[in-house]
Amino acid sequence: MRGYQSKILTSILVVLVLCTNIVSFYPQEVKSPTYYFTLDGLVSGGGTRVDAFYLMREHLARAGILLSIRNVDWPTYVGEIIAFYNFDITLLALSGGGKDPDFTGVYNENGSLNLFGYHTSMDWDDDLGTGENEWYMKEGLQIIPPDSDERIQHYWDWQDYLMDKICPILPTFSPRFYTAYWANLNGYNVSDGILQSWGKMSWTGLHEGQESVNELVITDAAWWDLNPLFEDDSSSRFISEACMDPLIWYDSDLSVHPHLAESITHINDTHVRIKIREGIKWTSDPDGNYTNEYLDVDDVYFTFYCWINPYEPTFSWLVDMKKIDNYTLDIFIDGDPDLLRNQPSNRYLSDICKRILPEHYLNQTQLHDGITPDITHPSWRKFAVHCFGTGYVLAE
């Protein structure tokens, strides 16, 4: 009996082994995904951009699209996106944008940052004689004043057209940024920033570690050069902006209002008159040699001249200036020097937002032409580390 049971047990084991082998000989069939086409994805570096690419690949696979990812070094990446266009999709942050809605250089046919390969043949219009997107870009530069409701509406219409008909980009991911400040600080507007919140802020009491309600402590990186003509870092810019004033100010919603300027009047589309506030006193220079100087037309003329020649040719639209009186300056605009008559340029408004330089201090000596200031004068070296401005101080 015991032998009989042993034979039965052996038979059961043999059957189990055979069944196991049968299963291993015939595995369950798994269907591979079917891809209808492949996209060449281009990215550089690591972090959130690469993570976003892998997330996009996962979702595109569900639609039958294979995303091939190429991660290249930064110089190669720049060459690819600007010159060669050897990719189908990339992830790039275009931050900033400036104070003006004009994006010529990015979304027009010959723009240096036309990463999308836009060409007027894509939306050619016989009546316009160009692509409709190109027309929007050029027409926006002709509308004066630059901050008029007409021009604002024009760029809203352009944006709707671009995203509806051309659709060169789609929003993906924006990393969150946080600003921390003490809860007992009243009047601070994060959108406006510290400088435009100045005068509205006050402490309601002392927080941990705070010793005074008359002081605001800010941390930042090391600064380099406090002269607006030569500074190229945000820390230097913040300090010089805290000391010096512009003619106009842009609010957080990009609306424009006069600051050192009392008014800006358009005589016509290419002729603008700037009226400067009277009675604004310069703070003293570091050595105390100039203690009773007031802002006037010479300071504005000097500042504009410096931005034209020879240090930083930002004001390419500015073709002439004329002093009307001690507090009035006329500027003449030409947005397209290739045409016979002067053409309007809306870039001038954001350009004249530069901080005004003290002519009496920086123009003590000139070059051989008797006009161009001599930047080798000791005052320029001193100003680079000890800048000063009008300091919002109105003379009594």
Annotated domain spans of the chain: 94-177, 243-385
Domain range 243-385, CATH architecture? Alpha-Beta Complex (3.90)
Residue 29 has pLDDT above 80, yes or no: no
Alpha carbons within 13 angstroms on the beta-carbon side of residue 258 total 11
Instruction: Give the pairing of strands 65-72 and 37-44.
Output: parallel
Token digits of residue 314? 């930002």
Q: Which of 12-26, 80-94, 215-229 has the highest mean pLDDT?
A: 215-229
Q: Which of 43-47, 60-64, 391-395 has the highest mean pLDDT?
A: 60-64
> What confidence category does residue 5 fall into, taking pLDDT thresholds of 50, 70 and 90?
very low
Token digits of residue 115? 């990463």
Tell me the residue length of the chain. Answer: 396
Burial label for 48, CB within 10 Å (0-12, 13-18, 19+), is middle
Q: Which of 202-216, 309-323, 368-382 has the lowest average pLDDT?
A: 309-323
pTM: 0.74
Phi, psi of 354 (to 5 degrees): -65, 150
What pLDDT score was predicted for residue 316?
84
Token digits of residue 225? 């050069």
Comparing 157 with 83, the larger pLDDT belongs to 157
pLDDT tens column, 62-80:
999 999 999 999 899 988 8
Q: Which of 184-193, 365-374, 377-386 has the highest mean pLDDT?
A: 377-386
Burial label for 333, CB within 10 Å (0-12, 13-18, 19+), is buried
Contact between 359 and 200 under an 8 Å Cβ cutoff? The reply is: no
- The helix/strand count (H/E) of the chain reads as 11, 13
Instruction: Give the pairing of strands 318-325 and 328-333.
Output: antiparallel
Torsion region of 67: left, alpha or beta (phi above 0 gives left; psi -120 to 50 gives alpha): beta
What pLDDT score was predicted for residue 366?
92
> What confidence category does residue 27 fall into, taking pLDDT thresholds of 50, 70 and 90?
low
Residues with Cβ within 8 Å of 36's Cβ and at least 6 positions away in sequence, in order, are 64, 65
pLDDT above 90: percentage of residues in the chain: 47
Contact between 300 and 356 under an 8 Å Cβ cutoff? The reply is: yes
For residues 134-161, average pLDDT: 91
Comparing 3 with 32, the larger pLDDT belongs to 32
Q: What is the 3-state secondary structure (H, E, C) of 192-238?
A: CHHHHHCCCCEECCCCCCCCCCCCCCCCCCCCCCCCCCCCCCHHHHH
Token digits of residue 203? 């402490």
User: Could you tell me the sign of the dihedral formed by the alpha carbons of 119, 121, 123, 125, in that order?
Assistant: positive
What pLDDT score was predicted for residue 313?
54
Burial label for 339, CB within 10 Å (0-12, 13-18, 19+), is exposed
pLDDT above 70: percentage of residues in the chain: 87
Residue 314 has pLDDT above 80, yes or no: no
pLDDT tens column, 243-295:
999 999 887 777 888 999 999 999 999 999 999 999 999 999 999 999 999 99
What pLDDT score was predicted for residue 96?
60
What pLDDT score was predicted for residue 167?
83
What pLDDT score was predicted for residue 297?
97
Residues with Cβ within 8 Å of 256's Cβ and at least 6 positions away in sequence, in order, are 147, 248, 249, 250, 349
Comparing 46 with 361, the larger pLDDT belongs to 361
Mean pLDDT of the chain: 85
Contact between 118 and 112 under an 8 Å Cβ cutoff? The reply is: no
> What confidence category does residue 13 fall into, taking pLDDT thresholds of 50, 70 and 90?
very low
C-alpha to C-alpha distance for 261 and 277, rounded to whole angstroms: 6
Provide DSSP, 278-299.
SSBBPPPPTTSS--S-B--HHH
Token digits of residue 299? 């300071």
